[in-house]
């Protein structure tokens, strides 16, 4: 390379032109004056942190990691990564018990599932919520997701033989939500893929993607999960030549981008084979595959692109897929953050900000008044259902409902 | 994914082209690396002496009202600049002396609005000025954060409490016949500037602030919304990396987010802007156009890129890609059959089309007309080339 | 007492002049400092910012080396808030002679410099950006110093001891009575006002311009302007100073300073006429990047912020007209003894590092001539702001839970940051976001530190020293200055001048992100703001 032929810097922070466009689009800054904004927290702050870690600003914990700053940046600076990386490197505060509990979805899930009816009952009681509010600072207004009595993994394992019959095979990274809370989504995916002549396999004991651990100061655990998951993905992708599909936008972003960018876990040999199911199915249909749709199917759908989906740029696939369904009256909701940001919105100190951030989205949903809101992210689903009362379905579930 | 036309660059030029093509019945997609230069839009369309009918219609249908009034506009630092065409809320005057006495109102602690420079500039033109500061309790939250008093944040609050501002200004107003306010009104609600004008019994002039520009963001949002309402696909936050080209015909482009899901189209428009938006790349030895490798018109001697005086006209700001009369991009001296270049990526290579906003709009319309005139590109045998034969151009 | 009469007048507001005024004022003299521009605009403001351990001179100039290390240790105590105690490395690359290392270390030890040979592996851990191919490393007590802060602190202390300062005031001639210098004629560059000042002793601390000042007084001091070019990189690549362990040559020091790092330098003789207008040439730029990349390879792909050049005031020894016998050492000339001219002293040569010693020598001479018997206390009295060594402790004391901007203010102002702890939340607003400089900090500088222009303010507070090079903060600060000085017209011109000055340092490295930033700045100021 000739001298200065190109320049590079961590997360491209040197390419920042200080245009402040990122700050104009940060949802947190609009509601929380304690947050310095992405430009200050990211490229500005980085130069000071390089001089002395003392200059690290603990207010960076208010960053939701929604990546909207990156989507807005005209210079291609990975502002959100820069901020999260700084938190991982410099934030010396230990995660509170609450944060550990909220982030340990595998642990909580496998613990709660056998006692699902009891757990579900208890977590919806006012007294439990008040106790969690007082002791753990989990806001009492937040509605907890229900746990399912049976895991998705169990369900699919029981159907291993019938799935193996299909000519074409894919693996499915189901994630915590499908496994512990809502196996129906996984079943919907299997239905659609089977209808396309594709069989579905489990990965060899996947773990939680770790996204909540990254943002809650548990990066060492997250890295363990990352290494484990990449090894498991390799078994499917490299050894078996399979593509791996997902239905959760945040899990997908974490597996594809956060593993190498924030945790230093290389996934180059598996990344390109890791796809959201909507993209995979859209590409199949575009190339000539067909699905038999029910006659008389009608649904008014408002599609909310989750922040992480917007960052990956794959909202277009879910959108186009939904538009392909006959009988669908489709509205694309304005690009906005729902405010929950995973475990962020459960915390008492963030609850108000969380609801204020999502307010514009909730208003638009009420104005559009759809039959259902479509969304690829489970935490968005919890937030929208709780805050508007409208039902939220993953595009895959809508597709499953629309086909014979 | 297949579209009729794929537009690379979602700024003013790209959006105008996209909207026009969608209206003509095409299916288009716009790829944009983040938000664009409209965020620093001053609100005046330079180098446009009048609004082409077409432009007026397009903007009006998007909910943007323009005004044509040759004269001068008040700049944020108190100077006056000749302008003719601008957004409706920008004040254009026939002469700089637009009032006898002026009340300049700013928000306490807002440093991006230069009330003292404005006052000095207006006084030079023979107007008497008084500066007053507003201190509204609703802005307390903004003042807490050291860096939050910026135009967009204030504008969001103003959309809710502009009536309070009107009340306060009415109280402050004495015998002035004009009021100058910072341009932080009407971010989401486009009617607000008009209502403020109605509510204050004096001539209301909105003067600009440091970027981001509220009218600029509003314009961008409205144009983007119009584009999407017409059915266009706006891929925000994605970056065009390279293309598949065969014998002068572009078959598809590769983007960062869509990786091996190529964007195919019959026609492509390059509207990636200048250096700031990375439409042109530079290093100590050369200036290049990164997506298609178009020929760039620039001085080989790097020392000639600059004028040593900051205020002087800078040669590098006129560098741009080569095109033929129909705005087809040219690489290695040969024009592409289905690739057009519009907007500031043209630099000063097409002086007849003007500069800045004028260049963006005129070149966008010209390229759109070209595309609508010609059917999809074919080779000599009249058959569409298969993408497999195409070679990757980095 | 005539207000224009002083015990001593010091010509030159660089570090030498400011340091001399401080010393004189502390010894009870009534002092006046005149400077034709702002403080630290000569070599003081255009050097490497290196707090030498002296190791670089140990082999060839033991006396200089010894002076350096002694002053190094003194400055750490008295100028704590101006200094970053980074340590330094002298690395041997495969193409260098490893044998030189031994010679080097021995020379350091005998000069009193604690030079320690360390394993290259340890060096790589100490400084991850260092060229991994190094085959030898020596650790030395190098550091970095902010010369603007240092100069301002000296000036401030002089003022606190009763000294007066006239910046933007040019000496237009000397008032002589026979063989005695009695005073100076001056003209204000801002107002054109002409004023005469009188003193029994006048000190010429004009750096390379001391040559002309001496001529004006009627004596000849042979000087040799040697230009040095440097590059500032956009962020702090290294945290330890990196030097080449070989005979001193071009571009072999990479110094970390605040939020940036600086590679330098070169040495080219230039004619006196060029001293007011030094520029960095493309060849110099190439040389600096090439050699710099040998110290830290990442420099070849790191954004460059600006290029600048300064002029060293080298003195020909014994008025050698050929200029061959050049001394880098301190030169203190009592013109009464040397030339028969009473009341005139020149203090020149030396380095930024040894300014305090130079000031002490000059002040000793002044006191001797005035018959004042007071000893120098500058080596033991901390400068204002430097009473507390750790900025962390400073920030903690002033604000219990300081924000990043407040931490940055503590790092820049030292204990003086106490002045900006206010009840007015508006003062916390940031004017310069790149470097996190608040309204309070700027107002404090305008109040105490003789600020006339934006460039002055930049030197005092670091506004405009970040990657945007004043894109936003310049006009915000211009508003504050306009309010403080009550003159908008002047401020508009000042703003244009400030941007022009920034541009001078940007276009020699105007490619890549620097060119993008420049295009954006042009757009904002010309099209959006209407400058």
Please check whether residue C226 is in contact with residue C391, taking contact to mean a CB–CB distance below 8 angstroms.
Answer: no
Hey, which CATH number is domain A292-402, 3.40.1000, 3.30.379, 3.10.50, 3.40.50?
A: 3.40.50
A385 pLDDT band (50/70/90 cuts)? very high
CATH architecture of the domain with range C8-43+148-221+320-370: 3-Layer(bba) Sandwich (3.50)
At C317 the pLDDT is 65
Same domain, B207 and B228: no
Alpha-carbon gap, residue A45 to A56, rounded angstroms? 7
Per the structure block, which two tokens stand in for C21? 């005024």
- The DSSP annotation for C395-435 comes to HHHH-SS--HHHHHHHHHHGGGGGGG--S-GGGG-EEETTT
Dihedral angle of Cα A105, A30, A59, A12, to the nearest 10 degrees = 90
Alpha-carbon gap, residue C95 to C193, rounded angstroms? 59
Domain residue extents for chain A: 10-90, 292-402
Superfamily of C82-144+224-315 according to CATH: D-Amino Acid Oxidase, subunit A, domain 2 (3.30.9.10)
Looking at the complex, does the CB of residue C428 fall below 8 Å from at least one CB of chain A? no
3-state secondary structure A331-387: EECCCCCCCCCHHHHHEHHHHHHHHHHHHHHHHHHHHHCCCEEECCCHHHHHHHHHH
B377 pLDDT band (50/70/90 cuts)? low
Fold match between domain A10-90 and domain A292-402: no
DSSP structural state of residue B385: P
Task: Report H helices in A26-78.
Answer: 27-31, 38-39, 45-51, 68-72
Name the helix (H) or strand (E) containing B130.
strand B128-134
B276/A17 touch (CB, cutoff 8 Å), yes or no? yes
Alpha-carbon gap, residue A296 to A403, rounded angstroms? 11
B384 pLDDT band (50/70/90 cuts)? very low
What would the mean pLDDT of B71-79 be, rounded to a whole number? 93
Please check whether residue B183 is in contact with residue B209, taking contact to mean a CB–CB distance below 8 angstroms.
Answer: yes
Of B76, B109, B306, the CB nearest to C429: B109
Q: Is the pLDDT of residue A401 over 50?
A: yes
Same domain, B307 and B360: yes
Looking at the complex, does the CB of residue C327 fall below 8 Å from at least one CB of chain A? no
Residue whose entry in the numeric block shows the structure tokens 């005539």: C2
A123 pLDDT band (50/70/90 cuts)? confident
Same domain, B353 and B283: yes
At B188 the pLDDT is 87
At C414 the pLDDT is 94
A-C CB pairs within 8 A amount to 93
Alpha-carbon gap, residue C455 to C261, rounded angstroms? 20
C486 vs B contacts (CB less than 8 Å): none
Looking at the complex, does the CB of residue C520 fall below 8 Å from at least one CB of chain A? yes
Same domain, B273 and B231: yes
Cβ burial A376-404 (10 Å sphere, 16+ → b, else e): bbbbbbbbbbbbbebebbbbbbbbbebbe
Per-residue pLDDT reduced to its tens digit, C96-135? 999 999 999 999 999 999 999 999 999 999 999 999 999 9
Please check whether residue A79 is in contact with residue A42, taking contact to mean a CB–CB distance below 8 angstroms.
Answer: yes
Per the structure block, which two tokens stand in for B82? 């000749």
Q: Is the pLDDT of residue A157 over 90?
A: yes
Percent of chain A whose pLDDT exceeds 90:
79
Look over chain A and give the mean of its residue pLDDT values, rounded to a whole number. 92
At B391 the pLDDT is 40
C259/A51 touch (CB, cutoff 8 Å), yes or no? yes
Please check whether residue C298 is in contact with residue A6, taking contact to mean a CB–CB distance below 8 angstroms.
Answer: no
Task: Report H helices in A4-44.
Answer: 21-25, 27-31, 38-39
Q: Give the residues across from C63 on adjacent strands.
A: none
Instruction: Give the gap in angstroms from C-alpha B76 to the nearest C-alpha of chain C.
Output: 5
Q: Give the residues across from B270 on adjacent strands.
A: B8, B341
Residue A281 dihedral angles phi and psi, to the nearest 5°: -65, -40
A283/B261 touch (CB, cutoff 8 Å), yes or no? yes
φ/ψ region of C253 (left if φ > 0, alpha if ψ in -120 to 50, else beta) reads beta
Same domain, B72 and B153: yes
A18/C434 touch (CB, cutoff 8 Å), yes or no? yes
Per the structure block, which two tokens stand in for C116? 């320690």
Q: Give the residues across from C8 on adjacent strands.
A: C31, C201
Is residue B323 one of the residues assigned to a domain? Answer: yes
Cβ burial A251-271 (10 Å sphere, 16+ → b, else e): bbbbbbbbbbbbbebebeebb
Closest-CA residue of C relative to B307 is: C507
Of B147, B235, B278, the CB nearest to A36: B147
Q: Which residues contact C219 (CB under 8 A, 6 or more apart)?
A: C335, C338, C339, C341, C344, C346
Instruction: Give the gap in angstroms from C-alpha B177 to the nearest C-alpha of chain A.
Output: 34
Q: Is the pLDDT of residue B389 over 80?
A: no
B94, with CB counted inside 10 A (0-12, 13-18, 19+), is exposed
What would the mean pLDDT of B297-314 be, rounded to a whole number? 95
Domain carrying residue B154: 64-211
B145/A34 touch (CB, cutoff 8 Å), yes or no? yes
What would the mean pLDDT of B260-273 be, rounded to a whole number? 96
Instruction: Give the gap in angstroms from C-alpha A43 to the nearest C-alpha of chain C.
Output: 8
Closest CA to C410 of C401, C474, C261, A59: C401
Same domain, B290 and B362: yes
Alpha-carbon gap, residue B337 to B324, rounded angstroms? 11
Is residue B336 one of the residues assigned to a domain? Answer: yes
Name the helix (H) or strand (E) containing A185.
helix A183-195
C207 pLDDT band (50/70/90 cuts)? very high
Same domain, B247 and B328: yes
Q: Which residues contact C258 (CB under 8 A, 6 or more apart)?
A: A51, C84, C146, C236, C462, C465
Q: DSSP 3-state assignment of C92?
A: strand
C409 vs B contacts (CB less than 8 Å): none
Same domain, B182 and B150: yes
The structural domain count of chain B equals 2
C480 vs B contacts (CB less than 8 Å): 111
Alpha-carbon gap, residue C45 to C262, rounded angstroms? 13
Q: Is the pLDDT of residue B388 over 60?
A: no
Is residue B52 one of the residues assigned to a domain? Answer: no
Please check whether residue C425 is in contact with residue C403, taking contact to mean a CB–CB distance below 8 angstroms.
Answer: no
C66, with CB counted inside 10 A (0-12, 13-18, 19+), is middle
What would the mean pLDDT of C362-376 be, rounded to a whole number? 96
Of C235, C411, C433, the CB nearest to A14: C235
Residue with the larger pLDDT of the pair A120 and B206: B206
Q: What part of B 337-376 touches C (C-beta under 8 Å)?
A: 356
Per-residue pLDDT reduced to its tens digit, B321-343? 999 999 999 999 999 999 999 99
The answer, as to whether pTM is greater than 0.90, is yes
Across the beta sheet with A372-374, the strand order is A328-332, A299-303, A372-374, A392-393
CATH architecture of the domain with range A10-90: Orthogonal Bundle (1.10)
Number of residues in chain B: 394
Minimum mean pLDDT among A28-42, B378-392, C445-459: which range? B378-392
Residue B354 dihedral angles phi and psi, to the nearest 5°: 90, -155
What would the mean pLDDT of C434-439 be, rounded to a whole number? 92
Instruction: Give the gap in angstroms from C-alpha B93 to the nearest C-alpha of chain A.
Output: 30
Same domain, B249 and B358: yes
At B378 the pLDDT is 54
Q: Is the pLDDT of residue C324 over 60?
A: no
Per-residue pLDDT reduced to its tens digit, A127-150? 888 888 887 788 878 877 788 878
B75/C529 touch (CB, cutoff 8 Å), yes or no? yes
C433 vs A contacts (CB less than 8 Å): 18, 39-40, 44
B140 pLDDT band (50/70/90 cuts)? confident
Looking at the complex, does the CB of residue A313 fall below 8 Å from at least one CB of chain B? yes
At B88 the pLDDT is 86
What would the mean pLDDT of C14-42 be, rounded to a whole number? 97
Cβ burial C471-502 (10 Å sphere, 16+ → b, else e): bbbbbbbbbbbbeeeeebeebbebbbebbebb
A-B CB pairs within 8 A amount to 102
At C153 the pLDDT is 96
Per-residue pLDDT reduced to its tens digit, A317-326? 999 999 999 9
C492/B120 touch (CB, cutoff 8 Å), yes or no? yes
Instruction: Give the gap in angstroms from C-alpha C99 to the nearest C-alpha of chain A.
Output: 30
What would the mean pLDDT of C221-236 be, rounded to a whole number? 94
Same domain, B88 and B233: no
CATH number of domain containing B306:
3.50.50.60
Per-residue pLDDT reduced to its tens digit, A192-217? 999 999 999 999 999 999 999 998 88
Same domain, B351 and B389: yes
Is residue B350 one of the residues assigned to a domain? Answer: yes
- Candidates B42, B77, B92, B112: best to mutate against C (most CBs of C within 10 A) is B77
Alpha-carbon gap, residue B199 to A73, rounded angstroms? 37
Is residue B48 one of the residues assigned to a domain? Answer: no
Neighbours of B379 (CB within 10 A): 14
Q: Is the pLDDT of residue B390 over 80?
A: no
Per-residue pLDDT reduced to its tens digit, B201-243? 999 999 999 999 999 999 999 999 999 999 999 999 999 999 9
At B392 the pLDDT is 39
At C53 the pLDDT is 94
Residue C312 dihedral angles phi and psi, to the nearest 5°: -80, 135
B380 pLDDT band (50/70/90 cuts)? very low
Is residue B55 one of the residues assigned to a domain? Answer: no
Is residue B58 one of the residues assigned to a domain? Answer: no
Closest-CA residue of B relative to A1 is: B283
Alpha-carbon gap, residue C345 to C201, rounded angstroms? 7
Cβ burial C361-398 (10 Å sphere, 16+ → b, else e): bbbbbbbebbeeeeebebbeebbbbbebbebeebbeeb
Of B35, B238, B278, the CB nearest to A313: B238
Task: Report H helices in A113-179.
Answer: 116-123, 126-136, 152-157, 160-164, 175-176
Looking at the complex, does the CB of residue B33 fall below 8 Å from at least one CB of chain C? no
Q: DSSP 3-state assignment of A94?
A: coil
Same domain, B223 and B347: yes
Q: Is the pLDDT of residue A116 over 80?
A: no
Is residue B59 one of the residues assigned to a domain? Answer: no
Q: What is the value of ipTM here, to two decimals?
A: 0.93
- The DSSP annotation for A242-258 comes to -EEEES-HHHHHIIIII
Query: What angle (nearest 5°) sits at the alpha carbon of residue A315, between those of residues A313 and A321?
Result: 135
C327 pLDDT band (50/70/90 cuts)? low
B141/A20 touch (CB, cutoff 8 Å), yes or no? no
A3/C290 touch (CB, cutoff 8 Å), yes or no? yes
Per-residue pLDDT reduced to its tens digit, A69-91? 999 999 999 999 999 999 999 99
Looking at the complex, does the CB of residue C234 fall below 8 Å from at least one CB of chain A? yes
Alpha-carbon gap, residue C221 to C321, rounded angstroms? 10
């Amino acid at each position: 390379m000739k001298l200065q032929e190109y320049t590079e810097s961590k997360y491209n922070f040197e390419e920042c032109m200080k245009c402040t466009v990122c700050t104009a689009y940060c949802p947190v800054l609009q509601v929380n004056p304690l947050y310095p904004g992405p430009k200050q927290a990211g490229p500005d702050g980085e130069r000071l942190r390089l001089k002395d870690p003392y200059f690290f600003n603990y207010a960076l914990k208010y960053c939701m990691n929604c990546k909207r700053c990156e989507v807005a940046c005209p210079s291609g600076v990975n502002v959100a990564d820069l901020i999260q990386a700084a938190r991982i490197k410099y934030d010396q505060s230990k995660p509170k018990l609450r944060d550990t509990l909220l982030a340990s979805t595998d642990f909580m899930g496998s613990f709660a599932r056998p006692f699902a009816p009891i757990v579900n009952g208890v977590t919806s009681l006012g007294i439990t919520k008040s106790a969690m509010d007082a002791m753990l600072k989990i806001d009492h207004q937040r509605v907890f997701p229900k746990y399912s009595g049976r895991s998705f993994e169990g369900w699919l394992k029981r159907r291993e033989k019938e799935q193996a019959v299909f000519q074409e095979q894919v693996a499915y990274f189901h994630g915590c939500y499908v496994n512990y809370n809502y196996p129906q989504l996984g079943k919907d995916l299997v239905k659609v893929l089977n209808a396309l002549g594709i069989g579905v396999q489990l990965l060899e004991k996947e773990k939680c993607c770790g996204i909540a651990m990254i943002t809650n100061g548990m990066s060492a655990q997250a890295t363990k999960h990352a290494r484990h998951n990449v090894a498991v993905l390799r078994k499917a992708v490299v050894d078996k030549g399979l593509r791996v599909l997902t239905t959760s936008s945040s899990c997908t972003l974490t597996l594809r981008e956060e593993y190498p960018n924030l945790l230093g876990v290389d996934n180059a040999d598996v990344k390109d084979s890791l796809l959201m199911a909507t993209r995979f199915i859209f590409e199949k249909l575009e190339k000539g595959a067909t699905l038999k749709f029910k006659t008389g199917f009608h649904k008014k759908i408002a599609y909310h692109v989750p922040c992480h989906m917007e960052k990956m740029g794959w909202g277009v696939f879910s959108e186009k897929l939904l538009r392909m369904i006959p009988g669908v009256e489709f509205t694309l909701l304005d690009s906005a953050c729902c405010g929950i940001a995973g475990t962020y919105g459960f915390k008492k100190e963030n609850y108000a900000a969380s609801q204020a951030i999502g307010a514009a989205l909730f208003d638009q949903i009420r104005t559009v008044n759809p039959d259902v809101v479509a969304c690829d992210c489970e935490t968005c689903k919890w937030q929208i259902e709780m805050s508007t009362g409208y039902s939220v379905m993953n595009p895959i579930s809508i597709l499953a409902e629309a086909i014979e | 994914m297949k579209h009729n036309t794929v537009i690379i660059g979602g700024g003013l030029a790209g959006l105008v082209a996209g909207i026009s093509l969608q209206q003509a019945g095409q299916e288009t997609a716009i790829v944009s690396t983040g938000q664009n230069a409209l965020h620093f839009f001053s609100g005046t369309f330079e180098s446009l002496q009048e609004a082409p009918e077409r432009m007026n219609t397009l903007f009006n249908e998007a909910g943007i009202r323009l005004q044509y009034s040759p004269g001068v506009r008040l700049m944020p630092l108190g100077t006056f600049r000749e302008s003719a065409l601008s957004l409706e809320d920008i004040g254009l005057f026939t002469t700089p002396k637009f009032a006898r006495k002026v009340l300049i109102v700013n928000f306490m602690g807002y440093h991006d609005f230069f009330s003292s420079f404005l006052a000095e500039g207006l006084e030079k033109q023979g107007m008497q000025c008084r500066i007053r500061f507003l201190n509204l309790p609703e802005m307390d939250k903004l003042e807490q954060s050291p860096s939050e008093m910026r135009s967009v944040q204030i504008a969001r609050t103003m959309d809710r409490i502009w009536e309070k501002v009107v009340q306060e200004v009415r109280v402050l107003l004495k015998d002035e016949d004009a009021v100058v306010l910072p341009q932080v009104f009407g971010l989401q609600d486009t009617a607000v500037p008009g209502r403020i004008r109605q509510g204050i019994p004096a001539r209301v002039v909105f003067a600009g602030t440091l970027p981001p520009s509220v009218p600029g963001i509003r314009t961008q949002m409205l144009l983007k919304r119009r584009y999407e309402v017409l059915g266009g696909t706006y891929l925000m936050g994605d970056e065009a990396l390279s293309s598949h080209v065969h014998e002068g015909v572009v078959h598809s482009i590769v983007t960062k987010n869509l990786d091996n899901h190529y964007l195919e189209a019959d026609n492509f428009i390059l509207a990636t802007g200048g250096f700031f938006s990375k439409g042109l790349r530079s290093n100590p030895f050369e200036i290049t156009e990164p997506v298609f490798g178009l020929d760039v018109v620039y001085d080989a001697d790097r020392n000639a890129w600059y004028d040593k005086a900051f205020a002087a006209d800078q040669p590098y700001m006129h560098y741009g890609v080569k095109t033929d009369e129909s705005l087809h991009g040219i690489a290695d001296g040969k024009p592409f059959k289905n690739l057009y270049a519009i907007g500031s990526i043209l630099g000063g290579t097409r002086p007849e089309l003007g500069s800045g906003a004028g260049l963006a709009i005129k070149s966008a319309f010209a390229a759109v007309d070209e595309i609508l005139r010609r059917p999809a590109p074919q080779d000599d045998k009249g058959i569409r080339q298969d993408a497999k034969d195409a070679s990757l151009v980095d | 007492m005539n207000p224009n009469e002083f015990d001593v007048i010091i010509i030159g507001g660089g570090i030498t002049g400011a340091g001399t005024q401080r010393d004189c004022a502390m010894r009870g003299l009534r002092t006046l400092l005149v400077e034709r521009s702002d403080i630290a605009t000569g070599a003081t403001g255009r050097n490497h910012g290196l707090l030498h351990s002296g190791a670089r001179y140990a082999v060839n100039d033991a006396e200089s080396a010894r002076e350096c290390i002694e002053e190094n240790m003194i400055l750490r105590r008295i100028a704590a808030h101006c200094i970053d105690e980074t340590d330094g490395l002298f690395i041997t690359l495969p193409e260098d002679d490893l044998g030189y290392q031994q010679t080097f270390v021995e020379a350091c030890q005998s000069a009193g410099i604690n030079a320690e040979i360390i394993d290259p592996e340890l060096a790589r851990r100490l400084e991850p950006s260092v060229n991994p191919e190094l085959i030898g490393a020596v650790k030395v007590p190098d550091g970095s110093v902010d010369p603007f802060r240092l100069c301002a602190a000296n000036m401030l202390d002089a003022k606190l001891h009763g000294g007066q300062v006239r910046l933007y005031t040019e000496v237009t001639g000397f008032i002589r009575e026979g063989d005695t210098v009695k005073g100076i004629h001056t003209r204000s560059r801002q107002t054109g006002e002409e004023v005469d000042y009188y003193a029994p002793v006048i000190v010429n601390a004009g750096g390379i311009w001391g040559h002309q000042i001496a001529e004006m007084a009627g004596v000849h001091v042979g000087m040799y302007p040697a230009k040095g070019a440097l590059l500032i990189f956009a962020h702090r690549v290294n945290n330890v100073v990196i030097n080449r362990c070989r005979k001193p040559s071009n571009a072999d020091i990479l110094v970390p300073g605040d939020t940036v790092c600086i590679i330098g330098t070169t040495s080219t003789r230039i004619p006196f006429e060029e001293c007011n207008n030094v520029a960095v040439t493309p060849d110099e730029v190439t040389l600096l990047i090439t050699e710099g990349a040998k110290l830290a390879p990442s420099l070849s792909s790191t954004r460059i912020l600006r290029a600048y050049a300064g002029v060293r005031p080298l003195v020909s020894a014994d008025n050698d007209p050929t200029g061959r016998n050049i001394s880098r050492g301190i030169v203190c000339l009592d013109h009464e003894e040397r030339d028969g001219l009473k009341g005139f002293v020149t203090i020149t040569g030396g380095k930024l590092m040894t300014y305090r010693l130079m000031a002490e020598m000059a002040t000793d001479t002044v006191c001797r001539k005035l018959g004042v018997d007071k000893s120098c206390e500058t080596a033991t009295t901390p400068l204002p702001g430097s009473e507390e060594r750790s900025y962390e402790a400073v920030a903690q004391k002033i604000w219990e839970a300081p924000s990043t901007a407040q931490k940055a203010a503590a790092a820049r102002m030292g204990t003086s940051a106490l002045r900006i702890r206010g009840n007015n939340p508006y003062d916390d607003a940031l004017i310069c976001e790149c470097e996190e400089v608040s309204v309070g900090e700027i107002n404090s500088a305008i109040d105490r530190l003789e600020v006339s222009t934006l460039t002055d303010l930049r030197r005092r507070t670091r506004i405009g020293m970040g990657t945007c090079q004043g894109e936003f903060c310049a006009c915000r600060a211009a508003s504050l200055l306009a309010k403080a000085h009550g003159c908008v017209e002047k401020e508009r011109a000042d703003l244009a001048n400030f941007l022009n000055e920034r541009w001078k340092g940007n276009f020699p490295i105007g490619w890549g992100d620097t060119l993008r930033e420049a295009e954006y700045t042009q757009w904002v100021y010309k099209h959006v703001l209407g400058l």
